[in-house]
Protein backbone atom coordinates (compact mmCIF):
# COMPACT_ATOMS: atom_id res chain seq x y z
CA UNK A 1 0.00 0.00 0.00
CA UNK A 2 1.38 3.42 -0.96
CA UNK A 3 2.02 5.97 1.75
CA UNK A 4 -0.28 9.02 1.91
CA UNK A 5 1.13 12.25 0.53
CA UNK A 6 2.50 14.53 3.28
CA UNK A 7 0.47 17.65 4.00
CA UNK A 8 1.40 21.26 3.30
CA UNK A 9 0.64 24.73 4.68
CA UNK A 10 0.65 27.99 2.76
CA UNK A 11 0.85 31.30 4.61
CA UNK A 12 -0.07 34.66 3.15
CA UNK A 13 -2.74 37.10 2.02
CA UNK A 14 -5.75 36.10 -0.02
CA UNK A 15 -7.55 38.70 -2.07
CA UNK A 16 -11.04 39.16 -3.40
CA UNK A 17 -10.87 40.00 -7.11
CA UNK A 18 -13.19 42.26 -9.10
CA UNK A 19 -12.78 41.57 -12.82
CA UNK A 20 -13.84 44.41 -15.11
CA UNK A 21 -15.35 44.08 -18.56
CA UNK A 22 -12.82 44.58 -21.39
CA UNK A 23 -12.16 48.24 -22.05
CA UNK A 24 -11.31 51.31 -19.95
CA UNK A 25 -12.03 50.66 -16.30
CA UNK A 26 -14.27 53.69 -15.99
CA UNK A 27 -16.57 52.24 -18.67
CA UNK A 28 -17.10 48.85 -17.04
CA UNK A 29 -20.78 48.60 -16.04
CA UNK A 30 -20.28 45.41 -14.03
CA UNK A 31 -17.54 43.27 -12.48
CA UNK A 32 -17.17 39.54 -12.10
CA UNK A 33 -15.99 38.21 -8.77
CA UNK A 34 -12.99 35.99 -8.19
CA UNK A 35 -10.31 35.07 -5.68
CA UNK A 36 -6.55 35.42 -5.74
CA UNK A 37 -3.40 35.86 -3.69
CA UNK A 38 -0.11 34.04 -4.22
CA UNK A 39 -0.21 31.57 -1.34
CA UNK A 40 -3.95 30.95 -1.77
CA UNK A 41 -3.30 30.11 -5.42
CA UNK A 42 -0.54 27.67 -4.47
CA UNK A 43 -2.84 26.03 -1.93
CA UNK A 44 -5.49 25.31 -4.56
CA UNK A 45 -2.92 23.77 -6.91
CA UNK A 46 -1.61 21.53 -4.14
CA UNK A 47 -5.08 20.28 -3.26
CA UNK A 48 -5.88 19.57 -6.91
CA UNK A 49 -2.75 17.40 -7.02
CA UNK A 50 -3.80 15.38 -4.01
CA UNK A 51 -1.74 17.16 -1.33
CA UNK A 52 -3.76 17.95 1.83
CA UNK A 53 -3.20 21.66 2.32
CA UNK A 54 -4.05 24.27 4.95
CA UNK A 55 -4.02 28.03 4.46
CA UNK A 56 -3.01 30.41 7.24
CA UNK A 57 -4.10 34.00 6.80
CA UNK A 58 -6.23 36.84 8.10
CA UNK A 59 -9.40 38.20 6.48
CA UNK A 60 -11.81 40.94 7.43
CA UNK A 61 -15.16 40.38 9.07
CA UNK A 62 -16.88 41.22 5.79
CA UNK A 63 -18.49 39.64 2.75
CA UNK A 64 -15.24 39.52 0.80
CA UNK A 65 -13.54 37.63 3.62
CA UNK A 66 -16.39 35.13 3.91
CA UNK A 67 -16.40 34.66 0.15
CA UNK A 68 -12.63 34.09 0.05
CA UNK A 69 -12.66 31.51 2.85
CA UNK A 70 -15.60 29.69 1.30
CA UNK A 71 -14.02 29.76 -2.15
CA UNK A 72 -10.89 28.02 -0.91
CA UNK A 73 -12.78 25.61 1.35
CA UNK A 74 -14.86 24.44 -1.61
CA UNK A 75 -11.62 23.59 -3.38
CA UNK A 76 -10.51 21.36 -0.55
CA UNK A 77 -8.23 23.79 1.29
CA UNK A 78 -8.34 23.59 5.09
CA UNK A 79 -9.15 27.12 6.31
CA UNK A 80 -9.03 26.43 10.06
CA UNK A 81 -5.92 28.60 10.29
CA UNK A 82 -7.68 31.72 8.96
CA UNK A 83 -8.27 34.43 11.55
CA UNK A 84 -11.15 36.88 11.12
CA UNK A 85 -10.02 40.42 11.94
CA UNK A 86 -12.88 42.49 13.42
CA UNK A 87 -11.33 45.84 12.46
CA UNK A 88 -9.37 45.59 9.20
CA UNK A 89 -10.93 44.79 5.82
CA UNK A 90 -10.18 41.93 3.46
CA UNK A 91 -7.70 42.98 0.76
CA UNK A 92 -8.91 43.13 -2.82
CA UNK A 93 -7.78 44.02 -6.28
CA UNK A 94 -9.45 45.10 -9.49
CA UNK A 95 -8.41 43.46 -12.74
CA UNK A 96 -8.61 45.87 -15.67
CA UNK A 97 -8.76 44.16 -19.08
CA UNK A 98 -7.97 45.64 -22.46
CA UNK A 99 -10.27 45.56 -25.47
CA UNK A 100 -7.78 46.89 -28.01
CA UNK A 101 -9.76 50.02 -28.87
CA UNK A 102 -8.14 53.32 -29.71
CA UNK A 103 -9.26 54.85 -26.43
CA UNK A 104 -6.51 56.66 -24.52
CA UNK A 105 -7.11 54.65 -21.33
CA UNK A 106 -7.68 51.24 -22.91
CA UNK A 107 -5.18 48.39 -22.89
CA UNK A 108 -4.27 46.11 -25.77
CA UNK A 109 -6.67 43.26 -26.43
CA UNK A 110 -5.87 40.41 -24.04
CA UNK A 111 -3.71 42.59 -21.78
CA UNK A 112 -4.59 43.16 -18.14
CA UNK A 113 -3.57 45.44 -15.30
CA UNK A 114 -3.98 44.92 -11.57
CA UNK A 115 -5.09 47.68 -9.20
CA UNK A 116 -4.50 46.62 -5.60
CA UNK A 117 -6.41 47.86 -2.55
CA UNK A 118 -4.65 46.16 0.33
CA UNK A 119 -3.19 48.93 2.50
CA UNK A 120 -4.04 48.23 6.16
CA UNK A 121 -5.83 45.03 5.13
CA UNK A 122 -6.49 42.27 7.62
CA UNK A 123 -3.53 40.28 6.29
CA UNK A 124 -1.18 43.22 6.82
CA UNK A 125 -1.61 42.49 10.54
CA UNK A 126 -0.08 39.00 10.16
CA UNK A 127 2.56 38.56 12.86
CA UNK A 128 4.52 35.86 14.71
CA UNK A 129 1.48 35.41 16.97
CA UNK A 130 -0.31 33.81 14.02
CA UNK A 131 2.27 31.02 14.07
CA UNK A 132 1.47 30.36 17.72
CA UNK A 133 -2.23 30.19 16.87
CA UNK A 134 -1.55 27.61 14.14
CA UNK A 135 0.94 25.38 15.94
CA UNK A 136 -1.10 22.23 15.31
CA UNK A 137 -1.24 22.83 11.55
CA UNK A 138 2.46 23.65 11.33
CA UNK A 139 3.64 20.69 13.37
CA UNK A 140 1.82 18.11 11.27
CA UNK A 141 2.90 19.60 7.92
CA UNK A 142 5.82 18.43 5.81
CA UNK A 143 6.11 21.73 3.95
CA UNK A 144 5.27 25.39 4.61
CA UNK A 145 5.16 27.85 1.71
CA UNK A 146 5.17 31.65 1.77
CA UNK A 147 6.45 34.45 -0.42
CA UNK A 148 8.00 37.88 -0.72
CA UNK A 149 4.51 39.33 -1.01
CA UNK A 150 3.75 38.29 2.54
CA UNK A 151 6.93 39.73 3.99
CA UNK A 152 6.33 43.00 2.10
CA UNK A 153 2.92 43.59 3.68
CA UNK A 154 4.15 45.12 6.93
CA UNK A 155 6.94 45.01 9.53
CA UNK A 156 4.92 42.48 11.55
CA UNK A 157 4.55 40.28 8.47
CA UNK A 158 8.32 40.40 7.94
CA UNK A 159 8.73 39.36 11.55
CA UNK A 160 6.32 36.50 10.87
CA UNK A 161 8.46 35.15 8.02
CA UNK A 162 11.60 35.52 10.13
CA UNK A 163 9.91 33.56 12.93
CA UNK A 164 8.79 30.89 10.47
CA UNK A 165 12.34 30.40 9.21
CA UNK A 166 13.59 30.15 12.79
CA UNK A 167 11.27 27.27 13.66
CA UNK A 168 12.93 23.88 14.25
CA UNK A 169 12.77 22.04 10.92
CA UNK A 170 12.06 18.51 12.22
CA UNK A 171 12.24 17.20 8.63
CA UNK A 172 9.85 19.94 7.55
CA UNK A 173 10.63 22.00 4.42
CA UNK A 174 10.21 25.76 4.13
CA UNK A 175 9.47 27.10 0.65
CA UNK A 176 9.80 30.75 -0.38
CA UNK A 177 8.86 32.45 -3.67
CA UNK A 178 10.62 35.78 -4.22
CA UNK A 179 7.52 37.41 -5.78
CA UNK A 180 9.02 40.91 -5.70
CA UNK A 181 6.32 43.62 -5.69
CA UNK A 182 7.94 47.10 -5.71
CA UNK A 183 4.64 48.89 -5.04
CA UNK A 184 4.15 46.98 -1.80
CA UNK A 185 7.67 47.71 -0.59
CA UNK A 186 7.29 51.39 -1.48
CA UNK A 187 4.66 51.67 1.26
CA UNK A 188 7.06 50.40 3.92
CA UNK A 189 7.94 53.76 5.44
CA UNK A 190 10.43 52.28 7.90
CA UNK A 191 12.69 51.17 5.04
CA UNK A 192 15.34 53.69 4.08
CA UNK A 193 16.60 52.30 0.77
CA UNK A 194 16.38 49.41 -1.69
CA UNK A 195 19.38 47.61 -0.18
CA UNK A 196 17.32 47.02 2.95
CA UNK A 197 14.63 45.34 0.86
CA UNK A 198 17.31 43.20 -0.76
CA UNK A 199 18.70 42.27 2.64
CA UNK A 200 15.30 41.11 3.87
CA UNK A 201 14.53 39.06 0.76
CA UNK A 202 18.03 37.58 0.63
CA UNK A 203 17.70 36.53 4.27
CA UNK A 204 14.46 34.73 3.52
CA UNK A 205 15.87 32.95 0.47
CA UNK A 206 18.95 31.87 2.41
CA UNK A 207 16.81 30.51 5.23
CA UNK A 208 14.56 28.41 2.98
CA UNK A 209 14.89 24.84 1.77
CA UNK A 210 13.11 25.53 -1.53
CA UNK A 211 13.29 28.92 -3.26
CA UNK A 212 11.69 30.19 -6.47
CA UNK A 213 13.15 33.25 -8.20
CA UNK A 214 12.13 34.94 -11.43
CA UNK A 215 15.28 35.96 -13.27
CA UNK A 216 13.84 39.40 -14.00
CA UNK A 217 12.78 40.09 -10.42
CA UNK A 218 16.10 38.79 -9.08
CA UNK A 219 17.84 41.23 -11.42
CA UNK A 220 15.68 44.04 -10.06
CA UNK A 221 16.34 43.17 -6.40
CA UNK A 222 19.89 41.81 -6.39
CA UNK A 223 21.36 43.06 -9.68
CA UNK A 224 21.87 39.44 -10.79
CA UNK A 225 19.64 37.50 -13.15
CA UNK A 226 21.79 34.69 -14.57
CA UNK A 227 20.97 31.29 -13.08
CA UNK A 228 24.51 30.20 -12.25
CA UNK A 229 25.35 33.52 -10.62
CA UNK A 230 22.16 33.35 -8.54
CA UNK A 231 23.09 29.86 -7.37
CA UNK A 232 26.51 31.17 -6.34
CA UNK A 233 24.76 33.97 -4.44
CA UNK A 234 22.26 31.59 -2.81
CA UNK A 235 23.88 28.18 -2.21
CA UNK A 236 21.78 27.52 0.91
CA UNK A 237 18.43 26.21 -0.41
CA UNK A 238 18.46 22.53 -1.31
CA UNK A 239 16.16 23.43 -4.21
CA UNK A 240 16.73 26.69 -6.08
CA UNK A 241 14.48 27.28 -9.09
CA UNK A 242 15.18 30.13 -11.52
CA UNK A 243 12.31 31.01 -13.87
CA UNK A 244 13.85 32.41 -17.04
CA UNK A 245 10.72 34.26 -18.21
CA UNK A 246 8.81 32.20 -20.81
CA UNK A 247 11.73 30.24 -22.23
CA UNK A 248 12.82 27.76 -19.61
CA UNK A 249 13.34 27.06 -15.93
CA UNK A 250 16.68 26.17 -14.36
CA UNK A 251 16.57 23.97 -11.28
CA UNK A 252 19.43 23.41 -8.85
CA UNK A 253 19.21 20.45 -6.51
CA UNK A 254 21.79 19.74 -3.84
CA UNK A 255 22.44 16.00 -3.84
CA UNK A 256 24.37 14.68 -0.79
CA UNK A 257 26.04 12.04 -2.96
CA UNK A 258 26.66 13.91 -6.20
CA UNK A 259 26.87 17.55 -5.19
CA UNK A 260 24.85 20.34 -6.76
CA UNK A 261 22.88 19.26 -9.82
CA UNK A 262 21.71 21.72 -12.48
CA UNK A 263 18.88 20.95 -14.87
CA UNK A 264 17.14 23.16 -17.40
CA UNK A 265 13.68 22.31 -18.73
CA UNK A 266 12.05 24.23 -21.54
CA UNK A 267 8.57 25.64 -21.19
CA UNK A 268 5.71 24.13 -23.18
CA UNK A 269 4.43 25.73 -26.36
CA UNK A 270 1.10 27.45 -25.84
CA UNK A 271 -1.07 30.45 -26.59
CA UNK A 272 -1.21 32.72 -23.56
CA UNK A 273 -4.67 33.75 -22.39
CA UNK A 274 -3.55 35.48 -19.20
CA UNK A 275 -0.32 35.45 -17.21
CA UNK A 276 -1.78 36.07 -13.76
CA UNK A 277 -1.18 33.15 -11.39
CA UNK A 278 1.25 31.23 -13.62
CA UNK A 279 4.16 31.55 -11.20
CA UNK A 280 2.00 30.39 -8.31
CA UNK A 281 0.80 27.41 -10.36
CA UNK A 282 4.40 26.52 -11.18
CA UNK A 283 5.35 26.60 -7.50
CA UNK A 284 2.32 24.48 -6.57
CA UNK A 285 3.12 21.87 -9.21
CA UNK A 286 6.78 21.69 -8.22
CA UNK A 287 6.02 21.41 -4.51
CA UNK A 288 3.34 18.74 -5.01
CA UNK A 289 5.74 16.67 -7.08
CA UNK A 290 8.43 17.15 -4.42
CA UNK A 291 6.14 15.90 -1.65
CA UNK A 292 5.16 12.97 -3.85
CA UNK A 293 8.80 11.92 -4.22
CA UNK A 294 9.20 12.52 -7.95
CA UNK A 295 12.48 12.98 -9.83
CA UNK A 296 14.19 16.33 -10.28
CA UNK A 297 13.14 16.54 -13.92
CA UNK A 298 9.55 15.71 -13.04
CA UNK A 299 9.50 18.47 -10.41
CA UNK A 300 10.28 21.01 -13.10
CA UNK A 301 7.91 19.44 -15.61
CA UNK A 302 5.05 19.38 -13.12
CA UNK A 303 5.74 23.07 -12.53
CA UNK A 304 5.62 23.82 -16.26
CA UNK A 305 2.43 21.83 -16.78
CA UNK A 306 0.61 23.60 -13.95
CA UNK A 307 1.87 26.99 -15.14
CA UNK A 308 0.61 26.15 -18.64
CA UNK A 309 -2.86 25.48 -17.21
CA UNK A 310 -2.83 28.95 -15.63
CA UNK A 311 -1.50 30.64 -18.77
CA UNK A 312 -4.17 29.14 -21.00
CA UNK A 313 -7.06 29.65 -18.56
CA UNK A 314 -8.79 32.60 -16.99
CA UNK A 315 -8.73 33.64 -13.37
CA UNK A 316 -5.89 33.50 -10.87
CA UNK A 317 -6.50 29.90 -9.81
CA UNK A 318 -5.35 27.30 -12.33
CA UNK A 319 -7.73 24.50 -13.28
CA UNK A 320 -5.46 21.51 -13.83
CA UNK A 321 -5.71 18.34 -15.88
CA UNK A 322 -6.10 15.20 -13.80
CA UNK A 323 -3.12 13.87 -11.87
CA UNK A 324 -2.81 10.76 -14.12
CA UNK A 325 -2.58 13.05 -17.18
CA UNK A 326 0.11 15.15 -15.52
CA UNK A 327 2.02 12.03 -14.47
CA UNK A 328 1.95 10.70 -18.02
CA UNK A 329 3.13 13.97 -19.53
CA UNK A 330 5.86 14.48 -16.95
CA UNK A 331 7.26 11.03 -17.85
CA UNK A 332 7.63 11.93 -21.56
CA UNK A 333 10.94 11.43 -23.32
CA UNK A 334 12.98 14.53 -24.11
CA UNK A 335 11.81 14.37 -27.73
CA UNK A 336 8.17 13.96 -26.72
CA UNK A 337 8.41 16.85 -24.27
CA UNK A 338 9.89 19.12 -26.92
CA UNK A 339 6.96 18.24 -29.21
CA UNK A 340 4.22 19.01 -26.72
CA UNK A 341 2.06 22.11 -26.90
CA UNK A 342 -0.53 22.99 -24.33
CA UNK A 343 -3.97 23.96 -25.59
CA UNK A 344 -6.83 25.61 -23.78
CA UNK A 345 -8.41 22.24 -23.01
CA UNK A 346 -5.71 19.60 -23.18
CA UNK A 347 -2.04 19.10 -23.94
CA UNK A 348 -1.36 17.44 -27.30
CA UNK A 349 1.59 16.30 -29.34
CA UNK A 350 2.77 18.88 -31.88
CA UNK A 351 1.89 16.58 -34.75
CA UNK A 352 -1.66 15.85 -33.54
CA UNK A 353 -4.52 18.22 -34.32
CA UNK A 354 -6.19 19.73 -31.30
Which residues are the active-site residues?
A: 280
Do 72 and 28 form a contact (C-beta atoms < 8 A)? no
Measured over the CA atoms of residue 5, residue 162, residue 16 and residue 241, the dihedral's sign is: negative
Rounded Cα–Cα distance for residues 184 and 22 (Å):
26
Rounded Cα–Cα distance for residues 143 and 10 (Å):
8
Do 6 and 54 form a contact (C-beta atoms < 8 A)? no
Rounded Cα–Cα distance for residues 228 and 224 (Å):
10
DSSP code at position 180: -
Helices (H) and strands (E) in the chain, counts: 14, 16
Q: How many residues does the chain have?
A: 354
Terminus-to-terminus CA distance in the chain, angstroms? Answer: 38
Q: Strands 8-11 and 53-60, how do they pair?
A: parallel
- Taking residue 41's Cβ as centre, other Cβ atoms within 10 Å add up to 29
- CA dihedral of 223, 227, 228, 229, whole degrees rounded to 10: 10
Amino acid sequence: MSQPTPSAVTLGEGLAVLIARPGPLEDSPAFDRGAGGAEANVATVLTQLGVPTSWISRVGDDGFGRYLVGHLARRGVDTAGVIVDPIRPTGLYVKERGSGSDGPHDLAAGASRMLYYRTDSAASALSPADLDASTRLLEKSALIHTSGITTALSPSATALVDALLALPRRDRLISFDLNFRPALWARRTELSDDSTIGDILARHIQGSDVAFLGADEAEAVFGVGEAGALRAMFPQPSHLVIKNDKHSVTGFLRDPRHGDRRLEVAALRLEVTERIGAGDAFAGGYLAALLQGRSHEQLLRFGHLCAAAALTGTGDIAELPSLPVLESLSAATAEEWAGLRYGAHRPVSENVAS
